[in-house]
């Protein structure tokens, strides 16, 4: 594999050829030009323990090291209960609860997930910036991936950009779906120039969603949804378009008296570990409000 995990702050590669320069070698390892330039500028790239020029020709068995180092995070720490699914030197995987803002904004300066992670990092001596790899709406619960260094972030972001991550959601939708399985391959764009709503539009970006019925109720359906593209509001728009909006989705349907947000949960992710390239699977149990909704729908 030519990649060895040394410790938290050093990523090590071993050259298997003798005809590439340093920049070409790391590019072949999917290191982005932006990350390479930053590490090179900060003199955090080493060949056999020494900083070298980027055009140095590598020899077979040369050891190339990327140094991450300590970082400072300026997000105000706040004690918060975090549902940690997995953690190692590179990754911090959380099961985000419903109705929680991820990043501090002008209207939400505190009590965000970032504030809670900042406190956890501080308490546990983790001197790293908080780098979210994927995103979830405030009212969507489920798996969030945080990278602990710029290498892990770039490697994980590449997987999401290339749509090689397997992403599955559970949703409770209005109406009883007739088909056990379905595919929605329709482009998504803005509904209007200034609208935050998305819609299926002829000139939108391609978007591919599949769904599978998990359980049918009297007036609703629990479905497993898998997305193969990462368009904003993709699941909500596609399900609404086929006449089965997510219960509680006030943006695309109407409020529900049974749940205070859209009944959508990111429950499964399959990714490659950024260092070892091993396949990793993560699951997050349904939150209480969706379990209660399902019981009411039965």
**Distance of alpha carbon 216 from alpha carbon 177, whole angstroms:** 7
Q: Would you tell me the crossing angle of helices 33-41 and 150-161 to the nearest 10 degrees?
A: 170
**Distance of alpha carbon 182 from alpha carbon 111, whole angstroms:** 39
Phi, psi of 113 (to 5 degrees): -60, -35
Whole-number Cα distances in Å, 91 to 44, 117, 135: 21, 13, 15
Residue 200, burial from CB neighbour count under 10 angstroms (0-12, 13-18, 19+): middle
Q: DSSP secondary-structure letter at 60? A: T
- Name residue 277's beta-bridge partners: none
Residues 6+ apart with CB under 8 A from 219: 174, 175, 176, 297
Q: Which two tokens stand for residue 40?
A: 């090179």
Q: DSSP secondary-structure letter at 19? A: S
Annotation says 137 is catalytic:
yes
**Distance of alpha carbon 30 from alpha carbon 9, whole angstroms:** 19
- Name residue 65's beta-bridge partners: 12, 46
- Cβ(14)–Cβ(2) below 8 Å: yes
- Cβ(140)–Cβ(262) below 8 Å: yes
Residue 178, burial from CB neighbour count under 10 angstroms (0-12, 13-18, 19+): exposed
Instruction: Kindly name the residue from 9, 83, 88, 137 that is annotated as catalytic.
Output: 137
Catalytic residues: 137
């Amino acid at each position: 594999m030519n990649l060895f995990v040394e410790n938290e702050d050093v990523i090590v590669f071993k050259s298997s050829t003798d005809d590439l320069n340093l920049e070409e070698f790391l590019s072949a390892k999917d290191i982005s030009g932006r990350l390479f330039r930053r590490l090179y500028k900060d003199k955090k790239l080493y060949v056999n323990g020494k900083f070298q020029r980027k055009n140095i020709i590598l020899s077979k068995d040369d050891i190339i090291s990327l140094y991450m180092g300590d970082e400072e995070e300026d997000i105000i720490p706040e004690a918060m209960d975090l549902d940690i699914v997995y953690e190692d030197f590179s990754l911090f995987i959380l099961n985000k609860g419903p109705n929680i803002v991820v990043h501090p904004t002008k209207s939400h300066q505190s009590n965000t997930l970032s504030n809670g992670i900042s406190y956890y990092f501080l308490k546990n001596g983790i001197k790293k910036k908080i780098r979210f790899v994927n995103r979830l709406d405030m009212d969507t619960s489920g798996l969030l991936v945080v990278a602990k260094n710029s290498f892990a972030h770039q490697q994980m972001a590449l997987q999401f950009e290339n749509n090689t991550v397997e992403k599955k959601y559970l949703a409770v939708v209005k109406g009883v779906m007739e088909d056990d399985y379905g595919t929605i391959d329709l482009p998504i764009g803005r509904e209007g120039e200034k609208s935050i709503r998305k819609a299926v539009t002829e000139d939108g970006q391609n978007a591919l969603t599949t769904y599978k019925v998990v359980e049918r109720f009297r007036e609703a359906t629990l479905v497993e949804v898998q997305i193969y593209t990462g368009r904003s509001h993709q699941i909500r728009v596609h399900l609404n378009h086929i006449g089965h909006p997510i219960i509680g989705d006030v943006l695309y349907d109407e409020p529900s008296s049974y749940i205070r947000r859209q009944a959508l949960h990111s429950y499964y992710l399959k990714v490659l570990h950024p260092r070892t390239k091993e396949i990793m699977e993560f699951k997050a149990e349904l939150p209480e409000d969706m379990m209660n909704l399902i019981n009411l729908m039965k």
